[in-house]
Amino acid sequence: MLDEFIRTAVKNIKDYVPGQNPQKPGVIKLASNENPFGPSPMALEAIAKASSNLQMYPDQKSILLREALAKALKVKEDNIIIGNGSDEIMQIAATTFLKPGEEVIIPAHTFSLYELFAQLFDGQPIIVPLKDNEQDLEAMAAAITAKTKLIFVCNPHNPTGTMISAAKLGAFLAKVPANVLVIIDEAYVEFVEGKEFPNTLAMVKQRRNVLVLRTFSKYHGLAGLRVGYGIAPPELIKFMFRVKPPFNVNRLAQTGALAALGDKSFLDKTYQNNLEGKKYLYAELDKLSLEYKKTESNFIFIDVKRPSDELFLQMMKQGVIIRPLTSFGLPEAIRVSIGTTEQNEKFIALMKTLI
Amino acid sequence: MLDEFIRTAVKNIKDYVPGQNPQKPGVIKLASNENPFGPSPMALEAIAKASSNLQMYPDQKSILLREALAKALKVKEDNIIIGNGSDEIMQIAATTFLKPGEEVIIPAHTFSLYELFAQLFDGQPIIVPLKDNEQDLEAMAAAITAKTKLIFVCNPHNPTGTMISAAKLGAFLAKVPANVLVIIDEAYVEFVEGKEFPNTLAMVKQRRNVLVLRTFSKYHGLAGLRVGYGIAPPELIKFMFRVKPPFNVNRLAQTGALAALGDKSFLDKTYQNNLEGKKYLYAELDKLSLEYKKTESNFIFIDVKRPSDELFLQMMKQGVIIRPLTSFGLPEAIRVSIGTTEQNEKFIALMKTLI
């Protein structure tokens, strides 16, 4: 029965490997780059007030949230589409644009859903190796053929935390033909410290062939609510709207995200804590002579030069959950979310005994 | 640029037409079959307690909710997949099973998303006319060809509220080949009064080729939360899991639905109110000599024998929003949700002046 029933693409898909969740109280999770301060308090307040209307369908177009985002980002509302997480925007983009057999260029060792959606919708994933653990834009440009339709760029890069500069991204985009869409995943953009980060929203305003992805999961502390968004020229957004299920973003998600957007003190605290956490971790990892990447995000990539699955299990026993990068194809590296001062100290104390 | 970018299927899709939402206080919405008593109070309570963990990703597999549903429905957990609304389950089913060019049999004048998802994933929708405003299962069976892959059945039927009996569905399924999947949308099942309603869960347990869809949007009052689910043989559910984005059901949706499932007094009140509302509406519509269908759901189909879009506008001006069935291809009929006693009375009072 199954051979007739299931699409071939589906049979070839691997299961997604999520970060492990704490099974008992007191365990620290530094595995999924969630906000160590919890959700935005203003989001919680807004959700409490909104819940009495839950019997009604949500706004199909997330109008209030798109208005607020447009104002905050200085783009137009018709540049924005809201998704049930930014992964839904990837899915919508693949459904809207990708024809069977078209090629999708994806950096190696990155967020696994790029490849999953490419496969699922019968695209041909073209995986381009990293260079010094960073996305190799020259090689990615060289991989473009007449069949290329989508290119995924992750900036800052998950799992290395490194950034592609405006100059490098500009040089790359100059080589991308107009009939290829570049999807730039900026899930961690709010944590960027580097001055040379590209202004991709300006590119959207110039109607370039880019789709920028952002999320409320990290900086705003709302991973559990599932709100992400895409920013692109209106000609593309319009068709993506047709593809999205009408009520894809739930009421509390729309309400919570809207409130979180204006939660300045929470967001400032989140940014500051991340800056300080970075400095502390750099200093301590240097003392341990461990190789790591300077990060532009809220996590840090460490080359532990030993099987990271083992280290993960050892650390979990001691109450700290990190992300071994085996599922990213990097079995000797780990990704650790930057936590509160106390969490970072506990992680370092454990590293001292285990490395 | 667009002709190269957008998939042909997407260009041909029509926009979804939702029920109108109230724009000012005091307006009664009887357009989207939402629960007139609001959301389940136990769901609200559970949501209030759950919101402090919103920074964390939701459970990828909705384990607690699937356990509770399995117990309540007397099926196994591996028979169940949870979606961001049952429309996401339709989308997942199309992505999992439908190959380009395969035919999808759909009754005419029904919930529009069946056709949308068939088109979107390059299927060939085969629309079978209704007979006396009911799904014509004989004609649907006769429409099966070697290319048929999916058949949508809506039971009770949206927008007529009528039911297909166990005997009729059984006779139909006996004609469906084993390599065709029948998707039975039971969004309104909890409101059914008729004794002859089919036991589709027993068919799932016998590993028949059916996928049953249900939702928390209607009976449980949680349309704004987006929780629906599919029940099917585990061999099919397993592959649908691969297709669903990992974190498709948000934390509050999982929590709220779980609590609503056990909210007996709210659910009983909802059912009783619906029974009484039906009787009242039948009696009043009889007095007005209006043609309507006896309903097994929480809405009633009325043939107003005049342009329903006009009636809709007239009623909206007077503070009652109903659903003109123009977007269903039935421009002289309306669908009215059964509300509270007060809401039903207001609707009837308006009908008396406008018909």
Q: What is the pLDDT of residue A21?
A: 81
Q: What is the pLDDT of residue A51?
A: 81
CATH of domain A41-261: 3.40.640.10
Total CB pairs under 8 A between chain A and B: 230
Q: Read off the pLDDT band of B5 (50, 70, 90).
A: confident
Which of B122, B149, B226, B323 to mutate to test binding with chain A, by most A CBs within 10 Å of its CB? B226
Question: Given a cut of 80, is residue B3 above it in pLDDT?
Answer: no
Task: Give the full edge-to-edge strand order of the sheet including B333-337.
Answer: B291-292, B299-303, B333-337, B323-324
Which residues in B lie closer than 8 A to residue A35 (C-beta atoms)? 55
Q: How far apart are CA A116 and CA A301, in angstroms?
A: 23
Domain with CATH 3.40.640.10 in chain A: 41-261
Q: What is the pLDDT of residue A26?
A: 85
Q: Which residue of A has its CA nearest to B242?
A: A15
Question: Given a cut of 80, is residue B50 above it in pLDDT?
Answer: yes
How close, in Å, is residue B150 to chain A by CA atoms? 10
Q: What is the pLDDT of residue A319?
A: 95
Q: Please check whether residue A82 is in contact with residue A227, taking contact to mean a CB–CB distance below 8 angstroms.
A: yes
What one-letter code names the amino acid at A312?
F
DSSP, res B22: P
Domain with CATH 3.90.1150.10 in chain B: 2-38+264-354
Q: Which of residues 178-217 of A touch B (CB under 8 A)?
A: 178-179, 181, 209, 217
Q: What is the pLDDT of residue B111?
A: 93
Report the pLDDT averaged over residues B217-225.
Answer: 98
Q: What is the pLDDT of residue A355?
A: 85
A309 Cβ neighbours under 8 A, 6+ residues apart: A324, A326, A331
> Is the sign of the CA dihedral B40, B42, B43, B47 positive or negative?
positive
Question: Under an 8 A CB cutoff, do A247 and B87 touch?
Answer: yes
Question: Given a cut of 70, is residue B32 above it in pLDDT?
Answer: yes
Upper half-sphere CA count for residue B206 (Cβ side, 13 Å): 9
Which residues in A lie closer than 8 A to residue B37 (C-beta atoms)? 55
A87 to chain B, any CB pair closer than 8 A? The answer is yes
Q: What DSSP line would sit under A53-121, residue for residue?
A: GTTSPPPTT-HHHHHHHHHHHTS-GGGEEEESSHHHHHHHHHHHHPPTT-EEEEESSS-THHHHHHHHT
pLDDT per residue over B259-294, tens digit each?
A: 999 999 999 999 999 999 999 999 999 999 999 999
Question: Under an 8 A CB cutoff, do A224 and B54 touch?
Answer: yes
How close, in Å, is residue A178 to chain B by CA atoms? 8
Question: Given a cut of 80, is residue B170 above it in pLDDT?
Answer: yes
Report the pLDDT averaged over residues B236-263.
Answer: 96
Question: Under an 8 A CB cutoff, do A250 and B84 touch?
Answer: yes
Assign a CATH topology to domain B2-38+264-354.
Answer: Aspartate Aminotransferase, domain 1 (3.90.1150)
Which residues in A lie closer than 8 A to residue B84 (C-beta atoms)? 84, 226, 245, 248, 250
What one-letter code names the amino acid at A332?
E
pLDDT per residue over A69-124, tens digit each?
A: 999 999 999 999 999 999 999 999 999 999 999 999 999 999 999 999 999 999 99
Percent of chain B exceeding pLDDT 90 equals 91
Q: Which of A1, A59, A178 sits opposite B178 (nearest CB)?
A: A1
Q: What is the pLDDT of residue A133?
A: 87
Q: Which of A48, A181, A242 sits opposite B15 (nearest CB)?
A: A242
Report the pLDDT averaged over residues A297-303.
Answer: 98
How close, in Å, is residue B236 to chain A by CA atoms? 8
Percent of chain A exceeding pLDDT 90 equals 91
B96 to chain A, any CB pair closer than 8 A? The answer is yes
Q: Read off the pLDDT band of B24 (50, 70, 90).
A: confident
Q: Please check whether residue A30 is in contact with residue A336, taking contact to mean a CB–CB distance below 8 angstroms.
A: yes
Question: Under an 8 A CB cutoff, do B55 and A48 touch?
Answer: no
Q: What is the pLDDT of residue A17?
A: 83
Q: Please check whether residue B180 is in contact with residue B150, taking contact to mean a CB–CB distance below 8 angstroms.
A: yes
pLDDT per residue over A223-274, tens digit each?
A: 999 999 999 999 999 999 999 999 999 999 999 999 999 999 999 999 999 9
Q: Which of B18, B43, B245 sits opposite A57 (nearest CB)?
A: B18
Q: Read off the pLDDT band of A1 (50, 70, 90).
A: low
B226 to chain A, any CB pair closer than 8 A? The answer is yes
Q: Which of residues 298-327 of B touch A (CB under 8 A)?
A: none
Q: How far is CA A205 from CA A77, A175, A178, in A?
A: 12, 19, 15
Q: Which of residues 139-158 of B touch A (CB under 8 A)?
A: none
Question: Given a cut of 80, is residue A170 above it in pLDDT?
Answer: yes
Q: What is the pLDDT of residue B355?
A: 85
Question: Under an 8 A CB cutoff, do A95 and B181 touch?
Answer: no
B62 to chain A, any CB pair closer than 8 A? The answer is no
Q: Is the peptide bond between B156 and the residue preceding it cis, with omega within 30 degrees of 0?
A: yes
Q: What is the pLDDT of residue B1?
A: 59
Average pLDDT in chain A: 95
Q: What does the buried/exposed string (b/e) look like for A65-79 if buried means 16 or more CB atoms within 10 Å of the residue's CB?
A: bbebbbeebebebeb
Q: Which of residues 120-139 of A touch B (CB under 8 A)?
A: 120
Question: Under an 8 A CB cutoff, do A7 and B179 touch?
Answer: no
Percent of chain A exceeding pLDDT 70 equals 99
A52 to chain B, any CB pair closer than 8 A? The answer is yes
- Nearest C-alpha neighbor of B253 from the set B86, B94, B112, B114: B86
Q: Which of B91, B246, B250 sits opposite A245 (nearest CB)?
A: B91
Question: Under an 8 A CB cutoff, do B10 and A96 touch?
Answer: yes
| A155 vs B4: which has the higher pLDDT | A155
Q: What is the pLDDT of residue A14?
A: 83
pLDDT per residue over A326-345, tens digit each?
A: 999 999 999 999 999 999 99
Q: How far apart are CA B229 and CA B84, in angstroms?
A: 8
Q: Which residue of B has its CA nearest to A114?
A: B245
B283 to chain A, any CB pair closer than 8 A? The answer is no
pTM of the model: 0.96
How close, in Å, is residue B332 to chain A by CA atoms? 25
Question: Under an 8 A CB cutoff, do A7 and B223 touch?
Answer: no
Q: Which of B19, B39, B55 sits opposite A54 (nearest CB)?
A: B39
**β-strand partners of B31:** none
Pairing of strands B333-337, B299-303: antiparallel
- Nearest C-alpha neighbor of B179 from the set B207, B143, B149: B149
Which residues in B lie closer than 8 A to residue A60 (C-beta atoms)? 16, 18
pLDDT per residue over B295-307, tens digit each?
A: 999 999 999 999 9
Q: What DSSP line would sit under A340-353, residue for residue?
A: -HHHHHHHHHHHHH
Q: How far apart are CA A243 and CA A34, in angstroms?
A: 29
- Domain A17-38+264-354 listed as CATH 3.90.1150.10: yes
Question: Given a cut of 80, is residue A2 above it in pLDDT?
Answer: no
B174 to chain A, any CB pair closer than 8 A? The answer is no
